[in-house]
């Protein structure tokens, strides 16, 4: 039986790859710049609407390529203005993306996977397991959809890769998405407006240090010792704190950049004065800042949020040791859009996928 060759997706192609694909089909390479502008600057989702292209080229694009765009399945607004988008993908899987206004810049929080393999003890997304990675087109597609839905295509915004999934576990597609976002004929996003959050997958973290498009880096620590962190972040049993901190010390940073160490505070687990002192000693010598995140409690998370007094005490001790520290204001908790609360019911990994996750975890 003959098989139908899958058509390339315009949303998945970097501009050089699109130039090559056009040339193979007898079209001039410069049309890739025009197509990028239509997709990313004008929000077009149909090649037929690219009116400065010839009719012949538009017909060819419709015949030889696809242009997939996530669909908004549900949109919720928090009392604080945060908005959560449930997006349906082409294979009918779902992910969540979040818009956080006034932060002080507008911020899009993007997902990089359907679910997550890291299984952090305080994160609802990890309870899903990993269903699959997102493509670069699906990662950038979230920006396309949110920019249109929020009438922000001409407005400046920041991006944080802190939604569903571990970005460095989906390394190649995540980096490809960053290159598409940075393209001068697309969104032209400065890497300094993009922050990538990771639990610290060491081989991928070392690769990241060599990338030409270098986002801001946030490392999810959550504990000052390997014993504590191994209970909260299972991948720590494979990549320990000493190795992660060593990579951070060697990570290339420009003059104004710092690595952010994220630390979710759990009542009675990692919020003691001793923990604060250990944390300050751990990050000493790294050009960094600590971002404390009081737990966003939710059904299914077996921990409690510390008191405001405990949070203030922890922050004060870390600061007294010469470390820059901030406390993240929780946004969107009433619609389950805050850090660690993203979960899509019915998208859990299959038994085979769960076995693959166990094999990865080592």
Q: Which pLDDT score, from 0 to 100, does residue 350 have?
A: 47
Strand order in the sheet with 288-294: 71-77, 83-88, 94-100, 107-109, 158-161, 194-198, 216-220, 259-265, 288-294, 324-327
**Which domains can be identified in the chain, with CATH numbers?**
10-64 (1.10.150.530), 71-361 (3.20.20.70)
3-state SS class at 271: coil
Q: What is the DSSP secondary structure assignment for residue 291, as one 8-state letter?
A: E
Over the stretch 131-185, which tens digit does the pLDDT of each residue have? 999 999 999 999 999 999 999 998 999 999 999 999 999 999 999 999 999 999 9
Query: What is d(CA 2, CA 75) in angstroms, rounded to the nearest whole number?
Result: 42
Distance (Å, rounded) from C-alpha 219 to C-alpha 231?
17
Average pLDDT, the chain: 91
pLDDT (tens digit, 9 = 90+) per residue, 281-337?
Answer: 999 999 999 999 999 887 788 999 999 999 999 999 999 999 999 998 877 667 665
Which of 208, 121, 120, 125 has its CA nearest to residue 163?
125
So what's the pLDDT on residue 4?
Answer: 55
Q: What is the pLDDT of residue 331?
A: 74
Spatial contact of 166 and 130, defined as CB atoms under 8 Å apart = no
Cis amide bond preceding 19, omega within 30: no
% the chain with pLDDT above 70: 90
Q: Is 109 a catalytic residue?
A: no
pLDDT over 60 at 338, yes or no:
no
Q: Alpha carbon of 41 to those of 21, 152, 179, 213, 341: distances in Å? A: 21, 11, 15, 20, 31
Name the residue with higher pLDDT: 351 or 193. Answer: 193
Assessment of whether the complete model's pTM goes beyond 0.85: yes
End-to-end Cα distance, the chain: 41
> What local confidence, expressed as pLDDT, does residue 317 receive?
98
More confident residue, 344 or 31: 31
Q: Return the pLDDT at 346.
A: 62
Q: Is 231 tagged catalytic?
A: no
Among residues 109, 120, 248, 339, which one is catalytic? Answer: 339
**107-109 vs 94-100, strand pairing mode:** antiparallel
Cα(174)–Cα(111) distance, integer angstroms = 10
Q: How far apart are CA 52 and CA 175, in angstroms?
A: 30
- Please give the Cα distance from 109 to 229 (Å, whole number): 25
**Number of Cβ atoms within 10 Å of the Cβ of 305:** 19
Interval 2-13: pLDDT, tens: 445 789 999 999
pLDDT, mean of residues 9-18 = 98
Min mean pLDDT across 56-65, 251-260, 268-277, 336-345 is at 336-345
For residues 278 and 342, which has the higher predicted lDDT (pLDDT)?
278
For residue 61, count other CB atoms closer than 10 A to its CB: 22
Please pick, among 96, 138, 166, 347, the residue that the annotation labels catalytic.
Answer: 96
Specify the pLDDT at position 149.
97
Flag whether pLDDT at 340 surpasses 70.
no
Task: Look at residue 345 in the predicted model and tell me its pLDDT.
Answer: 62
pLDDT at 126: 85
For residue 349, pLDDT over 60 is answered with: no
Quote the distance between the C-alpha of residue 259 and its chain's center.
Answer: 16
Kindly state the tokens that stand for 149: 């839905």
pLDDT digits (tens, 9 = 90+) for 205-259: 999 999 999 999 999 999 999 999 999 999 999 999 999 999 999 999 987 799 9
* 261 CB-near residues (< 8 Å, 6+ apart): 218, 219, 221, 279, 283, 286, 288, 289, 290, 291
Q: How many CB atoms lie within 10 A of CB 56?
A: 10
């Amino acid at each position: 039986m003959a098989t139908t060759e899958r058509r390339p997706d315009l949303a998945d192609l970097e501009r050089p790859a699109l130039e090559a694909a056009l040339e193979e089909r007898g079209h001039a390479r410069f049309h890739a710049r025009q197509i990028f502008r239509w997709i990313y600057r004008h929000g077009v989702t149909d090649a037929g609407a690219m009116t400065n292209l010839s009719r012949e080229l538009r017909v060819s694009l419709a015949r030889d390529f696809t242009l997939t765009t996530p669909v908004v399945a549900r949109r919720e607004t928090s009392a604080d203005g945060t908005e959560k988008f449930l997006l349906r993908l082409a294979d009918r899987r779902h992910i969540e993306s979040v818009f956080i206004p006034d932060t002080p810049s507008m911020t899009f929080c993007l997902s990089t996977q359907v679910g997550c393999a890291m299984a952090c003890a305080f994160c609802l997304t990890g309870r899903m397991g990993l269903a699959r990675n997102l493509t670069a087109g699906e990662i950038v597609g979230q920006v396309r959809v949110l920019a249109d839905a929020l009438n922000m295509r001409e407005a400046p915004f920041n991006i944080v890769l802190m939604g569903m999934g571990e970005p460095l576990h989906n390394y190649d597609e995540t980096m490809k998405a960053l290159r598409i976002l940075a393209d001068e004929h697309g969104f032209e996003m400065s890497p300094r407006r993009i922050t990538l959050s990771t639990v610290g997958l060491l081989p991928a973290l070392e690769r990241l240090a060599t990338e030409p498009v270098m986002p801001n880096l946030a490392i999810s620590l959550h504990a000052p010792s390997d014993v504590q962190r191994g209970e909260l972040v299972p991948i720590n049993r494979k990549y320990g704190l000493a190795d992660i901190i060593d990579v951070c010390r060697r990570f290339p940073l420009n003059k104004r950049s710092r690595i952010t160490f994220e630390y979710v505070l759990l009542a009675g687990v990692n919020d003691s004065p001793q923990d604060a002192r250990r944390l300050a000693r751990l990050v000493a010598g790294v050009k960094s800042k600590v971002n404390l995140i009081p737990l966003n409690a939710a059904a299914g998370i077996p921990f409690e949020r510390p008191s405001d007094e405990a949070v203030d005490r922890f922050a004060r001790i870390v600061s007294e040791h010469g470390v820059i520290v901030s406390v993240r204001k929780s946004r969107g908790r009433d619609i389950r859009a805050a850090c660690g609360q993203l979960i899509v019911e019915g998208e859990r990994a299959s038994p085979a996928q769960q076995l693959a996750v166990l094999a990865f975890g080592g």
